[in-house]
Amino acid sequence: MTTEFNTLKTFDYQNSEVQLWVFKDSASQRRFRAVYVQTDEELSTQLKNIVAQNVSHLTEHEEYSYISQNNENSCLTIDKSETDFSVLQTLVDRVAAENRATDKKDLLNAKGYVVKFTGSSETVYAVKRSTSTWKTGYSKKFVNMVFRNGELSGMEDTSFSIEKNFDFYIVEDLAFITNKRGFESAMGHSESYKQAFSQLQSSPEFSALFTDLSPIIEYVGTNSIQLRRMAVIEQKSVYSQPGFLPTLKAVSDSRNWGLNFDESTNNIIPCEDTVKTIIQVLLDHRLLSELTSNTYDVPDAKPV
């Protein structure tokens, strides 16, 4: 257990000072805009209870990767410097009273919010991508209602909802991700997948593997899962190993993988029927069991 993970688990949330900051995307170099939102004692207490309950379920963590996944009791870790949070942290560490929201328009169309828990010597930042209730103004087509004390009352005003969970937490220089999709959306991290695939396509070393890249580009499209896989392929660069193509051809022929190769160049001939296998091979996720001699496609591969 890392020191940061231990801090996340043992931090005294109930006796901490709570600040709620709402942030939006910014086209400027600052990347974000953020305002402090005053919360009453009841909401502050609820926020403390929410974070304490959520972190109590966390028992393990592993390193973040493009295709790694966590479960309800685990989280993924990534260095804060590899995310956009350092920029956002600069904003939420400003003097709250000098950067306070003064109008509900300051909250509308928010990208997300940060709840900052400050103790005597430590600070935990809990971050959440905002829900749809933050995205638009109050619609005059409907009447917002609340049921309280056996009575239904109308509220002709904008309301905002805070979910009872967070997407990730920051402790010192480490991020603990409990909702990967939320983290990537809030921090713009998913754009790195598209950039990685674009770089891969422009790489002479990669494109030289194939007679035609079109079937692969068409197969991947804008699918987030496939883009993640291509980002891992770019990161691992298994294809750059010496003798990769001759080795792949020999293994494919002996294992009946059905890959097609140009007879004169040994280049891979991709098609609709073989693209999925090609991606698994480039991921190095097609593995042979030494116990059964069976070949398996796996979601992730970690060296033993």
pLDDT digits (tens, 9 = 90+) for 167-213: 999 999 999 999 998 998 888 776 777 888 888 999 999 999 999 99
CA separation, residue 291 to residues 131, 285, 287 (Å): 48, 17, 12
Torsion 23-187-219-298 (CA) sign: negative
If you count them, how many residues does the chain have? 304
What is the pTM assigned to this prediction? Answer: 0.72
Angle of the 41-56 helix axis to the 3-10 helix axis, nearest 10 = 130
pLDDT of residue 155: 61
Angle of the 224-236 helix axis to the 275-283 helix axis, nearest 10 = 40
Torsion 138-133-174-237 (CA) sign: negative
Looking up tokens 């790489």 gives 203
Residue 46 CB-density burial (10 A; 0-12 exposed, 13-18 middle, 19+ buried): middle
pLDDT of residue 207: 93
What stretches in the chain show pLDDT beneath 50? none
pLDDT of residue 211: 95
Q: Residues 6 or more apart from 257 whose CB is under 8 A from it? A: 251, 277, 281, 286
Q: Residues 6 or more apart from 88 whose CB is under 8 A from it? A: 23, 31, 32, 34, 114, 127
CA separation, residue 29 to residues 32, 44, 81, 260 (Å): 8, 32, 16, 47
CA separation, residue 155 to residues 152, 162, 177, 225, 254 (Å): 10, 18, 36, 41, 70
Closest CA to 66 of 200, 262, 215: 200
Helix or strand (DSSP H, E) at 116:
strand 112-118
